[in-house]
Amino acid sequence: MNAVAENKLTSRLLNGIEGKLPSLSGDAQLRRKALAYFQENGIPTRKWEDYKYINPEGLFRIGEFMSNAPVIREVSQLDVDRMTVIPGAAKLVIVNGVFVPALSNLDRIPQGITVKSIADAVVSDEIAKKYYAHQANPESDSFIAWNTAVSEGGVFVHIASNTQSEVPIHILHIACNEAASTFHPRNLIVAERDSKAEVIESFETIGPVKTLTNVVTEVIAHTNAHLDHYRLQVEGIAGHQVNTTCVAASKGSNYKTYTFTVDGAWVRNNLNIVFTEPHTESHLYGLYLADKNRVIDNHTIVDHTVPHCMSNELYKGVMDGKSTAVFNGKIFVRRDAQKTNAYQTNRNILLSDDATINTKPQLEIYADDVKCSHGTSTGRLNEEALFYLRARGIGERSARKLLVRAFAEEIVNNVPNEAVVAYLDNRLNHIMA
Amino acid sequence: MISIKNLHASVDGKEILRGLNLEVKAAEVHAIMGPNGSGKSTLASVLAGREEYEVTDGSVSFGGKDLLEMSAEDRAREGLFLAFQYPIEIPGVSNINFLKTALNEIREYKGLGPIEAKEFLALVKEKQKLVELDGKLTGRSVNEGFSGGEKKRNEIFQMAMLEPKLGILDETDSGLDIDALRIVANGVNKLRTPDRSFIVVTHYQRLLDYIVPDFVHVLYNGRIVKSGPKELALELEEKGYDWIKSEAQNVEA
């Protein structure tokens, strides 16, 4: 696509935004800056190295997600109650990119945790103002820029110092409309020093109309903060998503993140973690299950800018049908980041001849006293194991399920939340059904 | 129980079994011996339904049904059990879950409901004793990190759990020291019942000191060339296979 056509696409996407911009809350200058970046760079095409396998521009070229139609479809409490159930969680519901307190159960929010609409927080909350657009640089990526320019809402979750919360904060994103649309939810999570909390984001859709959710979540983990952060991506076959999570982790903090993509038509995850102080730790787990024509792309960056930090990444995928998956894991170990421990593993199983995986570990190491490893493997289910199970009376389908579940075991074993484990088990059980 | 007639089978286009006949009746134990490469393990694999073996001629009737028409899982559900020569390690699948799934799929095939959890655990406890299998092992992944002896004991334990009509032991004695051999053989002997038969494939006579067969067959060049009472095994141990080979060649000539 040439530059003129590109600009045309971008201006169509931004049709009406000029009139709307003054009514959007927050830093108008920031929005202008983000808008300018997006207008200049546009939607990534297959020529962009980081997007070459999934070609986002192709989604828009055919005129989908262009609609600026008002949202008509109402989301009811009944809809919400049917979705991802995390027992005991404080549920924060975001419908089409806007936080809806009436559908949320704010009464369950534990002491020490504050939840606000991000649209309000960026105007009235000093902490939110300080960290908003701090980690997700709108001039680094088109999708961040687009979100920053036009986002209308989302949540700000603040976890106060010394808070030790056992209550999961469940951010439930729902996309649904009567015309194909794009939504831009925006979240900010700030975990203050010595706090411990669990945030579960889940992504769902209602109905057959195509939606694209371009969500950006920023996470600030202060000194000694322990945060378990989940993404359960279970959108329906009409669901498309670009999910950007940008994390800054301070000394002694332990950010654990779990990205489970088990449904949806087209999913791109950008997970970027920066260690800003020494003695910091992060664990990244991912499981992606794709069948039919689904596309799942996981891009991760762990940036070791300082010494004595540890990162451990394990992503596993199972692809069936004509699905496509991408794993691209970048680890930077900067010159000053001595005594770094950084590990990365990506393993894949292809269940069909037509499924594709593009996997690329990318380690860039500029320090000399470090321990780093990476490994990747792609294969099929072990035929010998399959025969062994069948020779005991286990039908082929059940045998394959057992082996897929066994493949996922390494990930599932590391998931502390039992409701999430049960949820994954259920999905794993259905993948080949 | 099982009736094998004129069985021909090949792998990768190479014929291994060339007209094998064998009749095993209820409660009988048949030993299949023979030199390396004679087709012993191929016979076990073909009967269990390994797909890389192609049956080119002959028939196998099992409990009155055409065995060769059945999938591997249906053969197991009909009561055929192969104790593997090299049991597979399956990390991530627990022994317990594996056995429960197998047992329940066999029950479903027979029109029975799933086994009660309590009943299942009692069964596990009871059958473990047969082969002196440590309770801890059953909690682990299938065969993962098991010693050679533990793997073979686990095979017999599985057989005890699934209660087949016909047990095929494929060189179960290979890689076992004398103590493990005795434990495994004792386990098998305890499973001998009037309605259960065994085909014991072995290279050495040693196992047959413990599992005493009713008949001994010598397999050579894909065919049974000699059959006799249990004493035949002793004779083979003493004289080796060369005399059998020359006898067989004389017959062919």
Give the whole-angstrom CA distance, residue A324 versus residue A378. 13
CA distance B226 to chain A (A): 30
> Residue A14 has what pLDDT?
82
Check if the beta carbon of residue A314 is closer than 8 Å to that of residue A426: no
Cβ(A368)–Cβ(A337) below 8 Å: no
pLDDT bracket for residue B54 (50, 70, 90): very high
**In this complex, is the C-beta atom of B104 within 8 Å of any C-beta atom belonging to chain A?**
no
Decide if B178 touches A, using CB distance below 8 A.
no
> Do B87 and A391 lie within an 8 Å CB cutoff?
no
Residue A10 has what pLDDT?
83
CB contact under 8 Å between A388 and B71, yes or no, is no
CB-CB neighbors (< 8 A) of B87 in chain A: 388
In this prediction, residue A73 carries a pLDDT of: 66
pLDDT of residue A69: 62
Q: Tell me, what's the pLDDT at B252?
A: 61
CA nearest to A243, candidates A202, A215, A222, A203: A215
Q: Checking DSSP bridges between strand B65-66 and strand B80-83, what pairing results, if any? A: unpaired
B249 pLDDT above the threshold of 80: no
What's the burial of B133, exposed, middle or buried (CB within 10 Å: 0-12/13-18/19+)? buried
Q: Helices B148-162 and B178-190 meet at what angle, rounded to 10?
A: 0
Select the residue from A389, A404, A429 to test the B interface by mutation, using most B Cβ atoms within 10 A: A389
Tokens of A1: 């696509």
Q: What is the 3-state secondary structure (H, E, C) of chain B?
A: CEEEEEEEEEECCEEEEEEEEEEECCCCEEEEECCCCCCHHHHHHHHHCCCCEEEEEEEEEECCEEHHHCCHHHHHHCCEEEECCCCCCEEEEEHHHHHHHHHHHHHHHCCCCCCCHHHHHHHHHHHHHHCCCCHHHHHCEECCCCCHHHHHHHHHHHHHHHCCCEEEEECCCCCCCHHHHHHHHHHHHHCCCCCCEEEEECCCCHHHHHCCCCEEEEEECCEEEEEECCHHHHHHHHHCCHHHHHHHHHHHC
Domain locations along chain B: 2-252
Domain boundaries, chain A: 72-382, 383-433
Search chain B and give the residue with CA nearest A410: B92
pLDDT single digits (tens) A172-207? 999 988 888 899 999 999 999 999 999 999 999 998
What average pLDDT values come out for chain A (433 residues) when binned by 10 residues? Answer: 62 81 90 94 90 87 66 81 90 95 96 97 97 96 96 96 97 90 95 98 92 96 98 94 98 98 95 98 97 96 98 96 96 97 97 95 96 95 96 96 93 95 86 63
Q: What is the mean pLDDT of residues B53-67?
A: 97
Nearest CA in chain A to B163: A392
Q: Strands of B215-220's sheet, edge to edge?
A: B80-83, B166-170, B197-201, B29-33, B215-220, B223-228
Q: How many CA atoms are closer than 13 Å to the CA of A297, on its beta-carbon side?
A: 19
Mean pLDDT value across residues B112-135? 92
- Residue B97: closest CA among chain A residues belongs to which residue? A402
Query: B101 CB contacts (<8 Å, ≥6 apart)?
Result: A394, A398, A402
A206 DSSP 8-state letter:
-
The DSSP H or E segment spanning A345 is: strand A341-350
CB pairs under 8 A between A and B: 77
A391/B93 touch (CB, cutoff 8 Å), yes or no? no
A429 vs B contacts (CB less than 8 Å): none
* pLDDT confidence of residue A1: 44
Check if the beta carbon of residue A187 is closer than 8 Å to that of residue A136: no
Instruction: Output the DSSP codes for A141-197.
Output: -HHHHHHHHH--B-EEEEE-TT-B--S-EEEEEEE--SS-EEE-BEEEEEE-TT-EE
Question: How far is residue B175's CA from residue B155's CA, in Å, rounded to a whole number?
Answer: 14
Q: Identify the closest residue of chain B to A390 by CA–CA distance.
A: B73
State whether residue A388 sits within 8 Å of chain B by CB: yes
Paired sense of beta strands A266-275 and A239-249, if any: parallel
> How far does the CA of residue B235 sit from the closest CA of chain A (Å)?
34
Q: Which residues are CB-contacts of A168 (< 8 A; sequence separation ≥ 6)? A: A86, A88, A89, A90, A198, A199, A200, A417, A419
Taking the C-alpha atoms of residue A275 and residue A337, their distance in angstroms, rounded to an integer, is 10
Pick A406's closest partner by Cβ from B92, B109, B158.
B92
Q: Does A425 touch chain B (CB under 8 A)?
A: no
pTM: 0.89
| Pairing verdict, β A186-191 and B65-66 | unpaired
Judged by CB atoms closer than 8 Å, whether chains meet at A393 and B162 is answered as yes
pLDDT given at position A168 = 97
From the list A374, A350, A375, the residue with the least C-alpha distance to A364 is: A374
> Is B164 an interface residue toward A (CB < 8 Å)?
no
Amino acid in the structure at residue A267: V
Residue A6 confidence (pLDDT): 58
Contacts of B105 in chain A (CB under 8 A): 393-395, 398
- The Cα–Cα gap between A305 and A336 comes to 7
Cβ–Cβ contact B194 with A under 8 A? no
Determine whether domain B2-252 maps to CATH 3.40.50.300.
yes
